[in-house]
A and B are shown apart, each in its own frame.
Chain A
Amino acid sequence: MRARVFLLVCVAAFLGGLAAAQSSTEAKREPSPRPRRLYFGAPPTVPHDMGLDMNDCLVCHGDPDMGAPLTPHPTRLRCRQCHLPAAEDVPLFRSNRLAGLPPPGRAPRLQPSGPPLIPHPVLLREKCLACHAPEAREDVISTPHPERLRCQQCHIPQRPDTPQFSRPPTL
C-alpha cells in the first residue's frame, strides 16, 4: 500500500518534473554545494533545506531522471535517521577539534593488474552506480564500464583484519 502510494508520488513528481524541464531552460538547476561529512564514512549532510515533510527525499534522490544525487541504499526509507540539513550559516555552540581523515584516495588492488578492492563497507552502499556511475560524483572514482552492473563480480570489499588462510592442523 505504502509502496504503491510512493510509486504514484514518484510518477507524479517525475511527470511534473518533465513538464517543468520542457518549459524552462536546462541550465536552471544551480549546482548544489558538495555535501559535507563529519569524517570519511559518516553520512553526508544535506546542502539544501529539507523542508518539513521529511519522507519525500526519494522523489528526487531515488529517481535517476531527476538529476539529484542518487541514494546508494534505496530500501532505507527514513533518511532523517542519518542525514541532517547542513545549515552551515548557523553559528556553532562550541567549536570542535575532530578533523577526521580525508578519503583514502585510490583503492588498493590484490595484484597490479587486478581489479581494485572496495575501500569502504558495502552496507548502505549496495547500489554502487549511485556514486560510481560516470558523472555521478566528482569526488569518487567513476567506472569505465557501467554497463556491467554486477560490480561485486570483480570488486570485493577489503578485509584487512582477516588473517591469512592456513589449513587447520591435521592429526
Chain B
Amino acid sequence: MSPLDRRRFLSAAGQAGLGGWLACELGLLPLDSLARTGRTQSIPVGPGLDPRLSWTKAPCRFCGVGCGVMVGVKDGKVQAVAGDELSPVNRGLLCIKGYSLPAILYGDDRLTTPLLRTNGKLKEATWDEALGLVAGKFKETLETHGPTAVAIYGSGQWTLSDGYVASKWFRAGLGSNNVEANARLCMASAVTGFLTSFGMDEPMGNYDDLEAADVLVLWGNNMAEMHPVLFSRILESRRQRPNVRVIEISTRRTPTTEWADEFIGIKPNGDLALANAVAHLIVESGRVNQDFVRAHTVFRRGKEKIGYGLEDNFQFTDAPVEITLEEFKTYLADYAPEKAAGPSGVPAETTRRLAEYYADPKVKVVSLWCMGMNQHVRGTWINNLVNNLHLLTGKIGRPGNNPFSLTGQSSACGTVREVGTLAHRLPADMVVTNPEHRRRAAEIWGVPVEKIPAQPGYNTVEMFRALDRGDIRTMWIQCTNPMVTMPNLNRYRDAAKKQGRFIVVSEVYPTPTTDIADVILPSAMWVERTGMFGNSERRTQHWFKAVEPPGQARPDVWQLMEVARRMGYGELFPYGEDYEREIFEEYRKFTLGHGHDLAHYDDYVEHRGLRWPVVKGKETAYRYVEASDPYVPAGAGYKFYGYKATEGKAVIWARPYEPPPEVPDTEYPFWLTTGRVLEHWHTGSLTRRVPQLHRAVPAAYVEIHPDDARRLNVQNGERVRVVSRRGRIELDAVVEGRGQPLPGSVFVPFFDEGKLINELTLDAYCPISKQPDYKKCAVRIEKIGIAEG
C-alpha cells in the first residue's frame, strides 16, 4: 500500500469509525479520547508493549534529540513510557530522563489553579479573573508606555502553536517585537553561525551522519550526558566499526571523555585559535577542495574587536567585506599551529593530528557541538570557523560529512528557530527588518503591513535590562525559569521585583520565577495537551493529548489566545476546537516555496516525524545537495540557496581569536564554567520532582581539579565558598567526580534553585547572536571559616 493509499484508508476508516472501533477493541485508545478528537489514532505501536495500557506516540519532553516515546495510559494517568522502536531517532532507546517522563506529570506540588499575588500573598482565582487581570495590565501598559514596554519571554520547550500564537499576538496584534525565548541562551550562536555561513538556519545533515562518519569531533559538547541517546548511537557505531574515532575538545574532562579516543583540552576561547589553526593546516598542506571552494564558496571578513555586550543598550552591526583566497591565507598566517598553541592551549602536534582528519579526503568527519560553542562571547565566530573546515574541504551535505549543531531543548529548532520567537524573526527564517518578509507575514496574518514593527525587539539580556530600567513594564514568562537561568542573576531578580513591574508566569510547578510573579497561570504540559515539537535534525513531530491536565491547568497556547481575545484581538485567532490543526495549517503557509516547506498536519499525525523541507510529500535528508534536496537544480551539485547576496554560495569567514572579557587575575584566579548533568533537565523544576533523578544528584556542587584542591587545601566533600565580582555561594567541593575541569578552572551545574550559580556568572554575550557566555568568568574559591575578603 502506498503511503497515500494508507492515509486515505486511515482517514476513511476514521470517518467510518471502523479504525476507532478496532483501536478501542484492542485497548489502544480510550473511547473518550476518540470522542474528543473525533479521529482515530491508527498509529502503529512498537512490539511487546504492556496490553493493560493504551499506547500513543509522542516525542520526549526533554532535550532537542527528539526521541520517540510510546506513552502508556490507564485510568486517565500516564503509567509508563517505552522507547518507540519505530522512531528513526532513537530506535527504541531512551535515557533516564526519558524513562522518567511519567513522573514529571505527578509531582505533589503541581500548579492546578490560577494564583494572584495581592499584598505579597498568593490567592486562588478563577481563570476569568486571572485572564481579565492580565489582559487589563497589558492594555494599560500599551496605553501608557507603548508597545515596547510589553514583552513575552518564552521557551524552546514551547510547542509550535504556543510560539506561533505568541509571535502573532505580539507582532500582528500588540505591534511589538518583544518576543524572546530562552533558546537565546542556548542556540542563538548556532543560528547566526548557520545563517552567516550558509544563508539559512539549521543543520544540512541529520542523525544518520552519526553512523556514517569515520571521525566525530565534539567541539565542547558533553554528549554522553546531554544527548545520551545520540551518543549511544555513536558508541554502537564504533562497537561495530572499531576504526571510528571520537575526539572531544573541551575545557573540562566529562563523562564523554571516558569514551573518547582523544581528549583535547583547550583554554577558554581557545577554540577560535584551534579552529583557525586547523584551517591553516588544511590550506598549507594544499588539501583545500579546490573544485568545491571555487564553485560554491566566497570569502569574507567582518568587523573585529566587537565588544562583549556588557553595557545596557549595546548595539552591533557587522560590516562584512569580500576577500580573496590569498587574503584569507594571509589572515591564517597568524594561526600556524605553533603560534596558535598560545591562545588555544593545544600543542602543535595535537592540532596537526586533528587537522589531518579534516584534511584527508578519504576520512568522513562530522563536527558536533552544543553549549561549548554557542554560549561563547564569540559564539557566531566559532560556529563560522568550524563551518569553514567543512567548506574548505567540501565535507558537507553528504552522509557522514557535516557540521551538526545539537540542540538543547525539545523544540528550540521547531518553535524558536522555525516559528521564529526571537525579537528579530518572523516564521520560516524571515526577519522583521526585511520589508518583503513583513509584507508576506502581514498578508498571511490579515493585518496591515504597518502593524508589524520593523525595529527588532529586545534580545533576552537586553529585555531583562529593560525591565530593570523600567523600559519594559509588563512581561509574560511561559515555560521557562529565568530566575534560575539568567546570568548575573542578582540584577535581573531585583529588576523583576521592582515597583511598577507586572510579571505573569505560566508554569507547572512553583519555581524561583513563580516566586517573583504577580500572576501564576497553571499550564498543561506535554501529553496533557496536543502539540508539536521540532528536533535538531529538522524533524517535526506531533502528539495527541493522552490525559487530562490536573485541576484547571490549561495549555500555554490557550492562555495566550484567551488574553488576546479579551484585549480585542479575537479576529487574529478565529480557530475552533481543533485549533492545533488550524494554527499549524496557517503557520505552514509561511514555510512553503522557500526551502522551509512543511507537510500537512495529518502527515505528522501519522508519521514518526518528517524532516523539512517536505516537498511533494517527500522529506529531505540532506540539504543543499543535488538529488537529495529538491531546491538544488539538476547539474548544480550544490546550492546554498538561502544566500541571496552570494547567489547561492556559502561563506568562508576570516574570524580572529579574541580573548574573553573577564579573565582570572590574582583576586579571582579561577575560570568558572557552568553546565548540566545527565539527570537534571535545565533548572530541575521537572526532574527534581522525580525521586530517582533527584536522589542521584540532589544538589549542585563545585568540581575542582585535584592539583588546585591540593594547593587550596580543600578535601573532597568539603564545603567551600565560590565568589565572583557579582555574587557568592557555598557549595560542596567535588575533587574527583564525574567531571574534572582543567587546572585553573572550576565547574558548577546550574540545576539547583537552592544554589544559584548564575548569581556569579557574567552577562557578557556574543555581539552577533546576543547569546550569553555561561562558560567563562573569573571566581575565587574560599575555604569556609576563613574571613571573607
Of the candidates A82, A101, A119, A120, the one whose C-beta lies within 8 Å of that of B95 is: A82
Of the candidates B51, B85, B232, B239, the one whose C-beta lies within 8 Å of that of A158 is: B51
**Chain A residues in 8 Å Cβ range of B47:** 121-122, 157, 159
**Chain A residues in 8 Å Cβ range of B228:** 78, 81
**Chain B residues in 8 Å Cβ range of A160:** 26-28, 49, 51
Say yes or no: is A3 at the interface (Cβ < 8 Å to chain B): yes
Of the candidates B26, B81, B96, the one whose C-beta lies within 8 Å of that of A82 is: B96
Say yes or no: is B692 at the interface (Cβ < 8 Å to chain A): yes
Query: In the bound complex, what is the Cα–Cα distance between A66 and B694 (angstroms)?
Result: 30
Closest A residue to B44 using CB positions: A161
Contact B96 A77 (CB under 8 A): no
Contact B92 A42 (CB under 8 A): no
Which of A18-26, A86-94, A130-138, A143-151 lies on the face that meets chain B?
A: A86-94
Is the contact region of chain A dominated by helix, strand, or loop, or is it mixed?
loop
Contact A84 B736 (CB under 8 A): no
Say yes or no: is B83 at the interface (Cβ < 8 Å to chain A): yes
User: Hey, what's the 0/1 contact readout for B452-469 against A, CB within 8 Å counting as 1?
Assistant: 000000000000000000
Say yes or no: is A153 at the interface (Cβ < 8 Å to chain B): no
Of the candidates A39, A93, A118, the one whose C-beta lies within 8 Å of that of B698 is: A93
**Chain A residues in 8 Å Cβ range of B302:** none
Closest B residue to A36 using CB positions: B692
Asked, given contacts A54-B738, A100-B80, whether A158 binds B48 with beta carbons under 8 Å apart, the answer is yes
User: Hey, what's the 0/1 contact readout for A14-46 against B, CB within 8 Å counting as 1?
Assistant: 000000000000000000000010111111010
Query: In the bound complex, what is the Cα–Cα distance between A78 and B231 (angstroms)?
Result: 9
**Chain A residues in 8 Å Cβ range of B229:** 81
Say yes or no: is B314 at the interface (Cβ < 8 Å to chain A): no
Contact A123 B92 (CB under 8 A): yes
Contact B55 A161 (CB under 8 A): yes
Say yes or no: is A171 at the interface (Cβ < 8 Å to chain B): no
The A67-91 residues at the B interface (CB cut-off 8 A) are 75-78, 80-88, 90-91
Contact B688 A93 (CB under 8 A): yes
Query: In the bound complex, what is the Cα–Cα distance between A99 and B108 (angstroms)?
Result: 12
Closest A residue to B258 using CB positions: A55
Contact B103 A118 (CB under 8 A): no
Asked, given contacts A38-B692, A84-B692, A96-B106, whether A54 binds B258 with beta carbons under 8 Å apart, the answer is yes
Q: How far is the CB of A25 from chain B (nearest CB, A)?
A: 33
Q: How far is the CB of B323 from chain A (nearest CB, A)?
A: 44
Say yes or no: is A95 at the interface (Cβ < 8 Å to chain B): yes
Q: How far is the CB of B36 from chain A (nearest CB, A)?
A: 20
Say yes or no: is A167 at the interface (Cβ < 8 Å to chain B): no
Closest B residue to A161 using CB positions: B45
Say yes or no: is A154 at the interface (Cβ < 8 Å to chain B): no
Of the candidates B108, B224, B693, the one whose C-beta lies within 8 Å of that of A97 is: B108
Of the candidates B46, B105, B235, B694, the one whose C-beta lies within 8 Å of that of A121 is: B46
Contact B690 A84 (CB under 8 A): no
Total contacting residues, chain B, CB less than 8 A: 67
The B109-123 residues at the A interface (CB cut-off 8 A) are 109
Q: How far is the CB of B740 from chain A (nearest CB, A)?
A: 10
Say yes or no: is B8 at the interface (Cβ < 8 Å to chain A): no
Of the candidates A82, A94, A124, A158, the one whose C-beta lies within 8 Å of that of B92 is: A124
The B45-83 residues at the A interface (CB cut-off 8 A) are 45-53, 55, 72, 74, 79-83
Say yes or no: is A163 at the interface (Cβ < 8 Å to chain B): yes
Contact A95 B95 (CB under 8 A): no
Contact B694 A52 (CB under 8 A): no
Contact B102 A81 (CB under 8 A): no
Asked, given contacts A92-B691, A93-B689, A122-B48, whether A42 binds B99 with beta carbons under 8 Å apart, the answer is yes
Say yes or no: is B695 at the interface (Cβ < 8 Å to chain A): yes
Contact A121 B692 (CB under 8 A): no
Asked, given contacts A83-B96, A121-B49, whether A38 binds B690 with beta carbons under 8 Å apart, the answer is yes
Contact A97 B106 (CB under 8 A): yes
**Chain A residues in 8 Å Cβ range of B92:** 121, 123-124
**Chain B residues in 8 Å Cβ range of A114:** none
**Chain A residues in 8 Å Cβ range of B99:** 38, 42-43, 82
**Chain A residues in 8 Å Cβ range of B679:** 84
Closest A residue to B27 using CB positions: A160
Most buried by A among B82, B99, B105, B107: B99
Say yes or no: is B578 at the interface (Cβ < 8 Å to chain A): no
The B204-228 residues at the A interface (CB cut-off 8 A) are 224, 228
**Chain B residues in 8 Å Cβ range of A53:** 258
**Chain A residues in 8 Å Cβ range of B235:** 77-78
Query: In the bound complex, what is the Cα–Cα distance between A88 and B100 (angstroms)?
Result: 16
Q: How far is the CB of A137 from chain B (nearest CB, A)?
A: 19
Query: In the bound complex, what is the Cα–Cα distance between A122 and B46 (angstroms)?
Result: 10
Of the candidates B28, B44, B242, B684, the one whose C-beta lies within 8 Å of that of A2 is: B242
**Chain A residues in 8 Å Cβ range of B232:** 76-78, 81
Contact A43 B96 (CB under 8 A): yes
**Chain A residues in 8 Å Cβ range of B509:** 94
Contact A96 B239 (CB under 8 A): no
Contact A96 B48 (CB under 8 A): no
Q: How far is the CB of A9 from chain B (nearest CB, A)?
A: 13
**Chain B residues in 8 Å Cβ range of A92:** 691, 694-695
Say yes or no: is B279 at the interface (Cβ < 8 Å to chain A): no
**Chain B residues in 8 Å Cβ range of A77:** 232, 235, 239, 259
Contact B52 A78 (CB under 8 A): no
Contact B102 A38 (CB under 8 A): yes
Contact A161 B108 (CB under 8 A): no
**Chain A residues in 8 Å Cβ range of B26:** 160-161, 163
Say yes or no: is B647 at the interface (Cβ < 8 Å to chain A): no
Contact A84 B96 (CB under 8 A): yes
Contact A123 B694 (CB under 8 A): no
Contact A52 B103 (CB under 8 A): no
Contact A96 B108 (CB under 8 A): yes
Asked, given contacts A38-B102, A96-B690, A101-B52, whether A161 binds B28 with beta carbons under 8 Å apart, the answer is yes
Asked, given contacts A54-B738, A163-B22, whether A41 binds B96 with beta carbons under 8 Å apart, the answer is no
Query: In the bound complex, what is the Cα–Cα distance between A158 and B232 (angstroms)?
Result: 27
Q: How far is the CB of A49 from chain B (nearest CB, A)?
A: 12
Contact B242 A96 (CB under 8 A): no
Contact B22 A98 (CB under 8 A): no
**Chain A residues in 8 Å Cβ range of B738:** 52, 54
Most buried by A among B105, B229, B678, B695: B695
The B674-708 residues at the A interface (CB cut-off 8 A) are 678-679, 684, 688-696, 698
Closest B residue to A91 using CB positions: B698
Of the candidates B80, B94, B689, B698, the one whose C-beta lies within 8 Å of that of A90 is: B698
Query: In the bound complex, what is the Cα–Cα distance between A156 and B497 (angstroms)?
Result: 61
Contact A121 B85 (CB under 8 A): yes
Of the candidates A84, A99, A120, A123, the one whose C-beta lies within 8 Å of that of B693 is: A84
Say yes or no: is B661 at the interface (Cβ < 8 Å to chain A): no
Contact A94 B255 (CB under 8 A): no
**Chain A residues in 8 Å Cβ range of B231:** 78, 81
Would you mind naming 15 contact pairs between A and B with Cβ atoms under 8 Å apart?
Answer: A54-B258, A54-B738, A75-B236, A75-B239, A78-B228, A84-B693, A87-B698, A92-B691, A93-B684, A93-B698, A94-B688, A96-B103, A98-B106, A120-B48, A163-B26
Interface, chain B (partner A; CB < 8 A): 22, 26-28, 44-53, 55, 72, 74, 79-83, 85, 92-96, 99-100, 102-103, 105-109, 224, 228-229, 231-232, 235-236, 238-239, 242, 255, 258-259, 509, 678-679, 684, 688-696, 698, 736-738
Top 9 A-B residue pairs of the complex, sorted by shortest distance between their CB atoms? A121-B48, A157-B48, A87-B695, A160-B51, A161-B45, A84-B696, A93-B688, A123-B92, A90-B695
Interface, chain A (partner B; CB < 8 A): 1-3, 36, 38-43, 45, 52-55, 75-78, 80-88, 90-101, 104, 118-124, 157-161, 163
List 10 extra interface pairs beyond A76-B236, A96-B690, CB under 8 A: A41-B80, A75-B239, A81-B95, A83-B96, A84-B692, A93-B684, A98-B105, A101-B53, A158-B48, A163-B22
